[in-house]
């Protein structure tokens, strides 16, 4: 296998004046052409991880307190701002969750795409505008010639998200980060956007980190899956390993909460309790207060243990021998 495009080791993020990490010891690798889905409940640190890699944390109060993130062999976390700015929008790009807060409402969408092309490719304004038009065509916006001079408020939510994708891919990035890019869209448009992202990724060969809480999206898009809980990755593996043989009690709970087509149930399975607040992160395993298998050993933070090739779990109780249904109902 080729060398990783991105190699993250021990990434930690903290709020100034506190002693608990919001993101703690996050590690993973990503190769060219792969898609890593980061999944977990709201507030688990998915977006903070992506913003840390892009150098977009609100600092202060947030700051990276440890780790490294090697992108093409260069540490993003230690990179001078001017070098990081040169990478953003060029070799690395991000699609944000809400395009209306990410697009400039005072600029035409074509100008916003062209600005990125001129900034990183050094081409003329005419060539940059031609590239913007080409990208609007590639992302499937109807009548792209007229949409080129539209403002964001003139477009539907689905079209605005397509503009965001066009802007992110205009310079053919090697790494694309997508932060819940379909959350605010209806189901039909979601499917179109995901299919578009998958096709464009296949054409460019770029790697992608896709942040989501939708396990259906994970099943459709992922090569690898990182399950996050309260700022930590608790399970990591291929999409087949995570869906067919989940090992961490939290992952098992997530999988069991999904309704199955054709299955009649009296009520959906839920995970008892709530995610701890950032100011009240418990020592040891952060899932222990919600876990039916917790014992005294959970007072210490578990290390990631490899249970199969490429399949790692942070849990003192692994392996859990019972079937999934037994484990959830225990």
CA distance 2 to 24: 28
Q: Considering only CA atoms, which of 202, 255, 193, 306 is closest in space to residue 39?
A: 255
- What are the residue boundaries of the structural domains of the chain, listed by start? 104-172, 248-329
| Edge-to-edge strand list for the sheet holding 74-75 | 21-30, 6-15, 62-71, 74-75
Q: Which residues of 154-192 are buried (b: 16+ CB within 10 A; e: fewer)?
A: ebeebbbbbbbbbbbbbbebbbbbbbbbbebbeeebbeb
The whole-angstrom separation of Cα 126 and Cα 203 is: 25
pLDDT tens-digit profile of 241-265?
999 999 999 999 988 877 666 666 5
User: What does the alpha-carbon distance between residue 181 and residue 143 come to, in Å, rounded to a whole number?
Assistant: 23
Q: Which of 96, 108, 97, 98 is nearest to 154 (CA)?
A: 108
Torsion angle (degrees, nearest 10) of CA 278, 284, 286, 292? -150
- For the stretch 169-198, pLDDT in tens is 899 999 999 998 887 678 888 888 888 888
In this prediction the pTM is: 0.90
Nearest to 9 by CA among 25, 20, 32: 25
CA distances from 169 to 30, 112, 113, 131, 141 (A): 18, 13, 10, 11, 15
**What angle do the packed helices 109-121 and 157-169 form, to 10 degrees?**
10
Pick from 158, 165, 224: nearest CA to 186: 158
Q: Confirm if 192 and 162 have CB atoms less than 8 A apart.
A: no
Asked if 210 and 222 count as a contact pair (C-beta separation under 8 A), the reply is: yes
**What percent of the chain clears pLDDT 70, i.e. is strictly above it?**
93
pLDDT higher than threshold 80 for residue 50: yes
324 pLDDT more than 60: no
Taking the CA atoms of 85, 89, 94 and 96 in sequence, report the sign of the dihedral they define. positive
- Rounded mean pLDDT, 84-99: 90
More confident call, 266 vs 176: 176
Task: pLDDT band for 7, please (50, 70, 90 cuts).
Answer: very high
C-alpha closest to that of 37 among 260, 287, 188, 236: 236
Q: Do residues 284 and 300 make contact, with C-beta atoms less than 8 angstroms apart?
A: yes
Q: How buried is 289 (Cβ within 10 angstroms: 0-12 exposed, 13-18 middle, 19+ buried)?
A: middle
């Amino acid at each position: 296998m080729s060398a990783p495009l991105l190699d993250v080791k021990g990434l930690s993020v903290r709020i100034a004046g506190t002693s608990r990490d919001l993101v703690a010891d996050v590690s993973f690798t990503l190769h060219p052409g792969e898609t890593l889905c980061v999944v977990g409940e709201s507030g688990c640190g998915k977006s903070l991880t992506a913003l840390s890699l892009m150098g977009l944390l609100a600092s202060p109060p947030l700051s990276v307190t440890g780790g490294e993130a090697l992108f093409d062999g260069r540490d993003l976390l230690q990179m001078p701002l001017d070098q990081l700015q040169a990478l953003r929008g060029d070799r690395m790009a991000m699609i944000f969750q809400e395009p209306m807060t990410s697009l400039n409402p005072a600029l035409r969408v074509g100008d916003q795409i062209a600005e990125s092309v001129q900034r990183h490719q050094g081409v003329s304004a005419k060539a940059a505008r031609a590239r913007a038009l080409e990208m609007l065509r590639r992302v499937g916006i109807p009548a792209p010639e007229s949409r080129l001079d539209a403002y964001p408020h003139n477009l539907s939510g689905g079209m605005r998200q397509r503009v965001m994708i066009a802007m992110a891919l205009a310079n053919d990035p090697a790494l694309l980060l997508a932060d819940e890019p379909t959350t605010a869209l209806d189901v039909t448009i979601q499917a179109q956007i995901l299919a578009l992202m998958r096709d464009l990724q296949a054409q460019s060969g770029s790697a992608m980190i896709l942040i989501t809480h939708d396990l259906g999206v994970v099943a459709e898009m992922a090569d690898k899956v990182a399950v996050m809980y309260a700022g930590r990755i608790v399970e990591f593996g291929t999409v087949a390993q995570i869906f067919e043989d989940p090992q961490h009690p939290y992952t098992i709970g997530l999988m069991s909460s999904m309704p199955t087509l054709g299955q009649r149930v009296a009520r959906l399975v839920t995970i008892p309790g709530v995610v701890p607040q950032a100011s009240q992160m418990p020592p040891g395993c952060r899932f222990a207060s919600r876990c039916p298998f917790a014992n005294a050993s959970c007072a210490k933070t578990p290390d990631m243990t490899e249970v199969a090739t490429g399949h790692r779990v942070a849990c003192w109780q692994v392996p859990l021998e019972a079937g999934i249904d037994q484990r959830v109902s225990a």
